[in-house]
Chains A and B, each alone.
Chain A
Amino acid sequence: MKELVVISGKGGTGKTSIVASFAALAQNAVLADCDVDAADLHLILEPRVKQTSDFIGGKQASVVTEKCIGCGKCEDVCNFDAVFFNGQANDVVEKTYTIDPIACEGCGVCTYFCQNDAIEFKDTVNGQWFISDTRFGPMVHAKLGIAEENSGKLVSLIRKETKRIAEEQKKDLIIVDGSPGIGCPVIASITGADIVLIVTEPTLSGKHDLERVAELAAGFNIPTLIAINKFDLNPDMVTQIEEDARKRNMKVIGKIRYDKAFTKAQIMKCSVVEYTGGAVTEDIKALWRNVTYAF
């Protein structure tokens, strides 16, 4: 079983549209949407959810107002500016402490040091994750709660479940839709993957972001391939990206032309390769062939 992770550095380069097309072209694949804080793959693949589970990402502290003695120890020990002296009065004091759930990092230090056991520390549900069926096979995806944390942990969970399903159903390929950037969810998506495909665009921003994300992938020693979307936007930049890639021992294995079919397919809830038989679909098919050769 092989795992392909599609990332981009820069957002909006076409990762999800390309992953949806790969899903249509691949046979025997399990799909995972690891762009958990702005997941879009489900809009194309229309998964039928078979199983929903809560995602418990960590813990959160909250003050039990009746027990608070207003000593302020919690505020002293909190490194995240999450404690406020703005709570209601109780039998003991005029004002009590509260904890801002958005600012709380779930470290538990305030709970430990509270002299009156007035701070609860409970598991928090940060979102939901789903096992679904799509017209192209099983898919694991998630919805991170609004303003929630632990996206990296959720990504690791999704990948683990995807692997389990792939093993159970004897699928030989996993295709992961990753997130933009180079931070925690991206690191969680590529750690231990077999191949990373970076989708970029021929713009200075795309090139700059590609350099950073390529360096990240190189640090993990994962074979990395590059695809350039909207290649006809700026031919000079395509040449520069190809030269940079060569220097890094990475290969540009596909180029996709700019085509309104990307947007039109989205509106029709289908992948580009399902939407049109045109030249852009040939570009994507050629890219997919080169990805499969790489395995």
Chain B
Amino acid sequence: MKIAIASGKGGTGKTTIATNLAYVIAQMGRQVQYLDCDVEEPNGHIFLRPEVEKTEQVTVTVPEVDLTKCTGCGKCGQLCQYSAIVSLKETVLTFEQLCHSCGGCMLVCPEKAITEKQKVIGFLDQGNSGDVNFVQGRLQIGDVRSSALIKCVKQKINGNEVSIIDAPPGTSCPVIEAVKGVDFVLLVTEPTPFGLNDLRLAVDMVRQLKLPLSILLNRSDIGDDRVHKYCQNEGINIVTELPNDRRIAEAYSSGQMIVEALPEYKKHFVKLAEELEVL
């Protein structure tokens, strides 16, 4: 079973929920995998403290032009929608940062002057944190190919286990890459106007992808009751609520797992696992 933890708004507690849930599921004897797909700012490792056993480079394909074969016909530049390859009179320029790896320029070149070159966009770490199998993507700073890296992280999903996918915030391409193809989406939000606004966007996105979803309400006693009302109107289930406890914030700030630092909260995560039917 693949469960994505997503949110719309940043800082609502995705990683806290994802790491503690993975930890509790492992404690209950199930094979569980945690995949950090927030590749721009991966933080799951701070809490799970995994022993990374393997790190591999993740690359994408970009074009390399053999100017001795180029006749300057310009077809590559005309086809490219991203201005990543530009054909000038005497030369062809490539802009790797703009390339989406569609491969069009290589296919269209009549002289076969354009070949594939690999460009590093980030890293994939694999290891273990106790009984939790750990995978994370780390985007190289300055690169923009978050979605391509997320795709590689998700290729490490092991179908026999429960897989918890920690998604990036927002509702655009990287989030969709992280969420698509999962069995269930848990949206983490807080009962504030910003939380509600971004929750609405996230719900619309998940519905567009035709995936089932539930909500976890974090810091449930701050703010107002509008998230509750929204969920009621939309027929969305709130699986569990976590209060705004300063001790949680403090434990989080120093990188501690909530279920270890404050065992009284373990029952919330057990309940969550039960509701998600992973036990």
A180–B170 CA distance with the chains assembled, in angstroms = 9
Q: Is the CB of B170 within 8 A of A179?
A: yes
With contacts A10-B11, A12-B12, A204-B254 taken as known, whether A112 is within 8 angstroms of B79 at the C-beta atoms is yes
Total number of A residues with any Cβ neighbor in B under 8 Å: 64
Q: Name the residue of chain B whose CB is nearest to the CB of A121.
A: B81
- One of B25-33, B98-106, B268-276 at the interface: B98-106
CB distance from B79 to the nearest CB of A (A): 6
A109, A152, A184, A204: the one within 8 Å of B104 (CB): A109
With contacts A183-B146, A212-B141 taken as known, whether A147 is within 8 angstroms of B205 at the C-beta atoms is yes
B161 at the interface (CB under 8 A from A): no
With contacts A109-B79, A183-B146, A266-B193 taken as known, whether A149 is within 8 angstroms of B40 at the C-beta atoms is no
A11–B223 CA distance with the chains assembled, in angstroms = 18
A202 at the interface (CB under 8 A from B): yes
Q: Is the CB of B10 within 8 A of A12?
A: yes
* B contact residues around A109 at 8 Å (CB): 79, 102-104, 107
A254 at the interface (CB under 8 A from B): no
A213–B224 CA distance with the chains assembled, in angstroms = 32
Q: Is the CB of B142 within 8 A of A219?
A: yes
With contacts A16-B194, A182-B41 taken as known, whether A204 is within 8 angstroms of B171 at the C-beta atoms is no
With contacts A181-B169, A267-B192, A267-B193 taken as known, whether A10 is within 8 angstroms of B141 at the C-beta atoms is no
A194 at the interface (CB under 8 A from B): no
B139 at the interface (CB under 8 A from A): yes
A8, A108, A184, A212: the one within 8 Å of B81 (CB): A108
B77 at the interface (CB under 8 A from A): no
A215–B140 CA distance with the chains assembled, in angstroms = 11
Mask, B140-153, CB within 8 Å of A = 1, is: 01101010000000
Q: Is the CB of A181 within 8 A of B40?
A: yes
6 nearest A-B residue pairs (beta carbon): A11-B10, A12-B11, A107-B102, A181-B40, A203-B253, A109-B104
Can you name 23 A-B residue pairings with CB atoms under 8 Å?
A8-B10, A11-B9, A11-B169, A40-B198, A109-B79, A109-B103, A113-B107, A144-B172, A146-B205, A183-B139, A203-B254, A205-B41, A206-B253, A219-B141, A233-B249, A234-B250, A234-B253, A234-B254, A237-B253, A266-B194, A267-B193, A267-B224, A269-B193
